[in-house]
Structure 1
Amino acid sequence: MSDATAQSSTRFPPGTAPIKAEYLISFEPCAIPDDDAAEGSTNPISSTAPTSLPSGEGGGGGGGKKLSKRNKKKKERGQNKGRRFQKVREDVDLCWRIARGTVCEFGENCRQSHDVPAYLSSKPQDLSIPPISSLSISPPFVEPTPSRTDTRHPSLDLNTICPVFAALGECRYALKCRFLGGHVKVVEKEGSASELELVVDEEKRARAVSTEEEINKVDGEALKKVRTKKYPTPIADAYTKELQATADSKERDAQNKAKPSVMEDGDAVVIAEPEQEDQPPVDAEGDVLMKGKEAVHAYDPSQADTPDVRARFEEKKRLRWEGKSYLAPLTTTGNLPFRRLCVSLGADITCGEMGLALSFLQGSKEEWSLVRRHPDEKIFGVQLAGSKPNLLVSTTEILAREFGSSGGLDFVDLNCGCPVDLVFKQGSGSALLDTPARLGKILVGMNRALGEIPLTIKLRTGVKEGKNTVHRIMERASRWGVSSMTLHGRTRQQRYSKLADWDYIKQCVDQVRAKEKDEDLPRIPIFGNGDVFSAQDYYSRVDRYGVDGVMIGRGALIKPWIFTEIAEKREWDISSRERLELIRRYADYGLNHFGSDTAGVNTTRRYLCEALSFQYRYVPIGLLEVLPPRINDRPPAFRGRDELETLLASGDSRDWVKISEMFLGPAPESWSFTPKHKSNTYGSEEAQG
């Protein structure tokens, strides 16, 4: 142990970030958000506790009993339930067709306004994203940009730059854009009248088609067919028939075995065993196995009327992911703007937020928006969750047909690790770990529907604490057609309560590699996941535990620049101004994705505040006595090396809104942000507007 480490250990209790003395405000560790409580209870006791319990926690006693000290703290650190994020509407709701300069087919019957002058007169002042050169480490942190107005159109700022127009050469939000002055010109008319004419940069628009335009946009007609159940899924239909035929055959066998036929042969009574039909090979749990490189089933698919021949495993695109960094699929926070930010900082592989197969098949626009991809994302996949083979295989087939041929989809991932009650109780996510027979059927079917597109899975070590079981599934995954696996080193029940079990991850990797060698199966990439928070963490895991790379979740949320550290093999003592530049970049990406109109600006504001609800937890490494930093260490109260660094470390959600206002303008009075964690809520909801 070094002198610095020894000194630090005597000054701080275990699990406390070792802040240098000159930056300390208090030795008492700060309360940090409880990541488990914020996701909702998954404890089997607490989730079924009587409603009379005051906190929803497990344990004896009725509503009159006082909470234990531990439960009080857990409740205070828990989730703000029932969060609602309302849309902010404009005073005059201008028709989109009129805003874009086209004709509205509804005419006078349109529910929206067609009065452009009235709309422009009520429109608030244009916004302006400050240039990087205007950022400072001292208040007000952002120097205001000089504006240039037109007396006839006072809401316009002719000096502003529209982020959408700057990227695409055209702003699809037209007159409704909050950066309107950046893509209009004032055209003089007779007398003192004038009109606004939208500007289009044809050269930039042509270039943007391949460099900036988001891809994987589902066609409206296709979405209508999905919603009305008219989208053809012949592969899924044929596979469902196979499963049904196999189930019927097993049922007949069971009935025949239960009721053997009895015949008389002279004076003797002969009990005749029923003839056995040829059955597919199954393992001890009844799973259909892969024979060589092909799936074997009781139902012969060659006799079915199927237009497509399924791809054999060797026809799959091989994944060469060794040594790559992988941004985990993150619900809510792992949206396209955040993924773009991480890619710009060095992330190699990205995956969209988890989507529910049932919602995809219901034609949910929100669910289908999760497959959107930016051209910057070099290796991109979609993650699905579900519990029924027919739903997952059908969804997979539609995804492959819509985006496979265009190259918009590099892989599809099946979520076998989500611990959230809502998902688990439906038999999805980590619940699949306890139903390997069903999981095998799902994977074989999805693999067939995907054609040459690889299928991957994300797993946890098991369901119950102390019972690691996933090695049994991982050994068989290749036979089910899986092209890559990621293992999070915790059980579903553990959530984040303990450190990830990397020794068990290594055990699983070793067993899979031995199985591949014994059965002459192709080697597939295996990624580990859990508690990686620095370049040193990343490379030590790869070297010591045999994984091909590491998937990073919480570490990327707290410090997205971890991907730069990994790529450059260094720890980055990032300055507060550099962090503010990244926040500005996120705002720019958000406006391009969510929109530069009033609704898009405040959606961007909401997700920027969600991102800041993790990033404030970063402790600058220049303030630490011992490196590398550890993700689960709680910092004592500290001040930064400058005023901006101190502000960025604030856990007060009102400060996150103030930071958003530096780039997105003042938050409307009707807008508020409710943080995910109770520990970040200060004052009334109105105070956060």
Structure 2
Amino acid sequence: MADPGTVKDTSEPKGVARIKPEFLDPDHIPHLAEDCLSQADKDKFASGSANNGATEVDENGKESGQNSGGLSDKPAFKRLSKAEKKKLRGQNKARPPPFKVDREQILCHTLVDIVEGETPAPCNNARCFSIHDIKAFMAIRPPDIGTTCYNFEVRGRCPRGINCRFGSGHITENGFNKINEDVWKKFSSRSSPPTLNALTKDLQVSLRKRLYDFSKSEKILEVSKTQSKGSKRTCEGEIKKEAPKLEAVAGVTGCDGSTKKVEDSPSSEVNNVSEKIGPVLDDDTIKLKPAEKKTIDWRGKLIMSPLTTVGNLPFRRICKEYGVDVTCGEMAMASSLLQGLNQEWALVKRHESEDIFGVQICGNNPYTMTKSAQVLQENIEVDFIDINMGCPIDLVYQEGAGSGLMHREKVLQSIIDSMNKVMTIPLTVKTRAGIVTGKNIAHNFMPYFRDLGASLVTVHGRSREQRYTRLADWDYIDECAKIAHPVPLFGNGDIMSYEDYKHVIDTYKNISGVMIGRGALIKPWIFTEIKEQRLWDISSRERLDIMKKYVNYGLEHWGSDTKGVESTRRFLLEWISFLHRYIPVGILECPPQKINDRPPVFKGRDELETLMASPNCAHWIQISEMLLGKVPEGFNFLPKHKANSWK
């Protein structure tokens, strides 16, 4: 906190982090990284007119005297016209996968993990395009990236066998896989694998052929549907048939919310009126007994947000090591789970270190949401299920899911009620403040969450329209918490340090805790900072060690063959798109860093720190090559934001 007697320096514009002068790089000249452009953007520049207003400069910052809209071998633009800047605004939509593995260049899975003396199983796939000759594969096998295989070290037997890109330590000259007997015996004797919740073939077949027994969900949904229709008819009947009588009875509130005048009449007459209104329901004959709910004590817990794409299992393992209490998988679409899609079920996998783990599902109707909740609870290890009411993606919103549920109160009520009845584990909800900026509506839903049995509510203090612009509205989150009481409510938004966390906890007394998303992506050690109540000036070498650990976890999760290596690289690059935003404590004039502040171009305390701070995608790839070797021919990673194509 600044001394009250000092005058606050306002020379820096709002939203700009203040860097110590000795670390500033005022001579930096931005230039394009051609490899980080989409083909559409390359075409834009190639077809640009010669007089587009951009002045090309050489490596020393001197004008070359050539104005061109095209791309050169070392493109660099000192001054950019407005038209030029507009070409690289916004996001790269529908990004293609960075790399596709040629199936004809890999060994068939039946021959991959064969120990000398074992007989391989026959390949029964008539359409298998992989190599089926071990000697032929060994002749074209790509060179190893490294000499130490992480999977072999922790398991004693690498499941990727001779396809492994780190296989020199466990592959014989004849193409057989080696086993470390002691380590393998210990690993194989475990009661459960380190990664849980794998989709079994039997479950996948039953879902795809619609053979799974959803009678429990269907029974609950039928009751909910009957009650909904009965409530509607009751309301219509009261208005249409009994309006004259209700008008003569003061203190009785009609369906339209108006209060009518009282007239002296026997109470039995009024009771008889209400008894005759509405249909005869069979709720009493099929009434479900409330299941005994498991509970979670949320108080004081640090929760990591469900993070699409970047909140994968290897990243969650990193966060667990730095002190997060509760983790949640990436958003999974309910309809895709019911179809048994591998890529969707991969999102619900759980590592053994995640002691409190939840799954977040997204859908637009009670039928898919309730059935998804049932199949998840019955087949995987999960501690709670979260309803996504905050996803701002256009495709999801337009389908009435995610933040689109905020427009559909009746559907939302039915979803919460039905899911809560089918589940014996806690149900949680994550929502945004509203849809449109300046029109917060989340407080309207708090009574539903409270009365229908939600175990926890999380409010992201921004609207769908805002996305991540402007600051989160914690005053509004606190108001929502007051309405939701006694259900615990956690706030989400802008927590970047222990100071931010302490300010929220000390200021907003109705809020039970915080959920951290971007702050964890930028600095996963934030959980350690909060628990130890300190600011950690972490070194570049320590940050590189974190990335090394992430790579090892990625190779264990996605595999150490070429496909697994490039999947790990892809998700590492997605993570670095957040990691690079971290500003080291030692170069800030006024730490801690604020989440929406952007620094001027600066140099780090060493070359590695400077490289890690680069917002350019080409430098991110350079970091990945330090950990996973050179990118293969044909690799092309497009950053989510076009601005990251500038060096």
The two structures have a TM-score, normalised by structure 1, of 0.76
* CA deviation vs aligned residue, 1:91-117 (integer Å, no higher than 9, x gap): 633111022232114388754321101
Report how far residue 303 of structure 1 moved. 3.0
2:207 touches 2:338 (CA, 8 Å); kept in 1? yes
Q: How far, CA to CA, are the matches of 2:403 and 2:227 in structure 1? A: 26
1:245 pairs with 2:226: yes
1:239 touches 1:445 (CA, 8 Å); kept in 2? yes
1:76 touches 1:678 (CA, 8 Å); kept in 2? yes
Q: How far, CA to CA, are the matches of 1:385 and 1:282 in structure 2? A: 32
2:197 aligns with one of 216, 240, 244: 216
Q: Which runs of 5+ in 1 are unaligned?
A: 32-68, 129-159, 187-193, 262-270, 274-280, 285-296, 514-522, 684-689
1:532 maps to a residue whose letter is I
Secondary structure of 1:334's match?
coil
Specify the alignment match of 2:250 in structure 1. none
Specify the alignment match of 2:117 in structure 1. none
Q: How far, CA to CA, are the matches of 2:280 and 2:85 in structure 1? A: 56
2:638 maps to a residue whose letter is T
1:199 aligns with one of 158, 175, 179: 179
Report how far residue 663 of structure 1 moved. 1.4
Please list, as runs of the form range in 1=range in 2, the aligned pairs for 1:438-449 lying within 5 A after superposition.
438-449=411-422
Specify the alignment match of 1:142 in structure 2. none
Report how far residue 361 of structure 1 moved. 1.2
Specify the alignment match of 2:549 in structure 1. 585
Specify the alignment match of 1:175 in structure 2. 162
Secondary structure of 2:564's match?
helix
Q: How far, CA to CA, are the matches of 1:496 and 1:573 in structure 2? A: 26
Q: How far, CA to CA, are the matches of 2:406 and 2:149 in structure 1? A: 48
2:113 maps to a residue whose letter is R
The 1:71/1:212 distance shift into structure 2, 3 A limit, reads: farther
Report how far residue 300 of structure 1 moved. 4.5
2:106 touches 2:163 (CA, 8 Å); kept in 1? no
Report how far residue 8 of structure 1 moved. 7.2
1:530 maps to a residue whose letter is G
Q: How far, CA to CA, are the matches of 1:16 and 1:110 in structure 2? A: 55
1:509 aligns with one of 473, 481, 493: 481
1:620 pairs with 2:581: no
1:337 pairs with 2:314: yes
Report how far residue 641 of structure 1 moved. 0.6
Over 4 Å off, 4+ runs: 3-8, 27-31, 69-75, 107-110, 202-205, 250-261, 281-284, 297-302
Q: How far, CA to CA, are the matches of 1:105 and 1:532 in structure 2? A: 53
Q: How far, CA to CA, are the matches of 2:285 and 2:83 in structure 1? A: 61
1:242 touches 1:299 (CA, 8 Å); kept in 2? no
1:559 aligns with one of 501, 523, 543: 523
Report how far residue 654 of structure 1 moved. 1.1
Specify the alignment match of 2:95 in structure 1. 83
Q: How far, CA to CA, are the matches of 1:350 and 1:512 in structure 2? A: 23
Shifted more, 230-239 versus 89-98: the winner is: 89-98
The 1:257/1:99 distance shift into structure 2, 3 A limit, reads: same
1:431 pairs with 2:394: no
Q: How far, CA to CA, are the matches of 2:96 and 2:317 in structure 1? A: 26
1:303 aligns with one of 247, 263, 285: 285
* CA deviation vs aligned residue, 1:374-404 (integer Å, no higher than 9, x gap): 011111100011110011001100001112x
Specify the alignment match of 2:621 in structure 1. 657
The 1:425/1:252 distance shift into structure 2, 3 A limit, reads: same
Secondary structure of 2:609's match?
helix
The two structures have a TM-score, normalised by structure 2, of 0.81
1:25 pairs with 2:25: yes
Q: How far, CA to CA, are the matches of 1:567 and 1:627 in structure 2? A: 18
Report how far residue 564 of structure 1 moved. 1.4
Report how far residue 260 of structure 1 moved. 6.6
Specify the alignment match of 1:540 in structure 2. 503
* CA deviation vs aligned residue, 1:7-39 (integer Å, no higher than 9, x gap): 7734311221010010011399999xxxxxxxx
1:220 maps to a residue whose letter is K
The 1:252/1:477 distance shift into structure 2, 3 A limit, reads: closer
Specify the alignment match of 2:456 in structure 1. 484
Secondary structure of 1:485's match?
strand
Secondary structure of 1:441's match?
helix
Report how far residue 525 of structure 1 moved. 2.6
Q: Which runs of 5+ in 2 are unaligned?
A: 32-80, 115-119, 247-253, 258-278
Secondary structure of 2:560's match?
coil
1:555 touches 1:562 (CA, 8 Å); kept in 2? yes
Report how far residue 210 of structure 1 moved. 5.5
Q: How far, CA to CA, are the matches of 1:123 and 1:601 in structure 2? A: 15
Specify the alignment match of 2:57 in structure 1. none
Q: How far, CA to CA, are the matches of 1:348 and 1:551 in structure 2? A: 10
Specify the alignment match of 1:467 in structure 2. 439
Report how far residue 632 of structure 1 moved. 0.7
1:9 maps to a residue whose letter is D
Please list, as runs of the form range in 1=range in 2, the aligned pairs for 1:132-281 lying within 5 A after superposition.
160-185=147-172, 196-201=176-181, 203-204=183-184, 206-207=186-187, 209=190, 213-249=194-230
The 1:26/1:424 distance shift into structure 2, 3 A limit, reads: same
Specify the alignment match of 1:519 in structure 2. none
Secondary structure of 1:607's match?
helix
Q: How far, CA to CA, are the matches of 2:542 and 2:172 in structure 1? A: 35
The 1:88/1:298 distance shift into structure 2, 3 A limit, reads: farther
* CA deviation vs aligned residue, 1:492-520 (integer Å, no higher than 9, x gap): 2222222111011111112223xxxxxxx
The 1:21/1:482 distance shift into structure 2, 3 A limit, reads: same
* CA deviation vs aligned residue, 1:56-100 (integer Å, no higher than 9, x gap): xxxxxxxxxxxxx99985763310122101322366331110222
Q: How far, CA to CA, are the matches of 1:606 and 1:126 in structure 2? A: 19
1:316 aligns with one of 289, 293, 297: 293
Specify the alignment match of 2:51 in structure 1. none
* CA deviation vs aligned residue, 1:442-487 (integer Å, no higher than 9, x gap): 0011111112x10000011111221222112113312111001111
1:91 touches 1:122 (CA, 8 Å); kept in 2? no
1:605 maps to a residue whose letter is R
2:302 maps to a residue whose letter is S
1:99 aligns with one of 109, 112, 120: 112
2:135 aligns with one of 110, 114, 117: 117
What number of residue pairs does the alignment pair up? 562
Q: How far, CA to CA, are the matches of 1:614 and 1:332 in structure 2? A: 12
Report how far residue 669 of structure 1 moved. 0.8
Q: How far, CA to CA, are the matches of 1:321 and 1:255 in structure 2? A: 42
Report how far residue 255 of structure 1 moved. 7.7
Shifted more, 107-116 versus 249-258: the winner is: 249-258
Q: How far, CA to CA, are the matches of 1:663 and 1:73 in structure 2? A: 33
2:112 maps to a residue whose letter is A
1:648 pairs with 2:612: yes
1:359 maps to a residue whose letter is S
Q: How far, CA to CA, are the matches of 1:660 and 1:123 in structure 2? A: 22
* CA deviation vs aligned residue, 1:397-428 (integer Å, no higher than 9, x gap): 0001112xxxx101000011111111111111
Specify the alignment match of 1:143 in structure 2. none
Q: How far, CA to CA, are the matches of 2:643 and 2:213 in structure 1? A: 49
1:327 aligns with one of 292, 304, 313: 304
The 1:121/1:21 distance shift into structure 2, 3 A limit, reads: same
1:454 pairs with 2:434: no
1:575 aligns with one of 536, 539, 558: 539
Report how far residue 169 of structure 1 moved. 2.5
Shifted more, 660-669 versus 73-82: the winner is: 73-82
1:443 maps to a residue whose letter is I
Secondary structure of 2:354's match?
coil
Specify the alignment match of 2:382 in structure 1. 409
Shifted more, 612-621 versus 195-204: the winner is: 195-204
1:347 maps to a residue whose letter is V
2:104 touches 2:131 (CA, 8 Å); kept in 1? no
The 1:597/1:311 distance shift into structure 2, 3 A limit, reads: farther
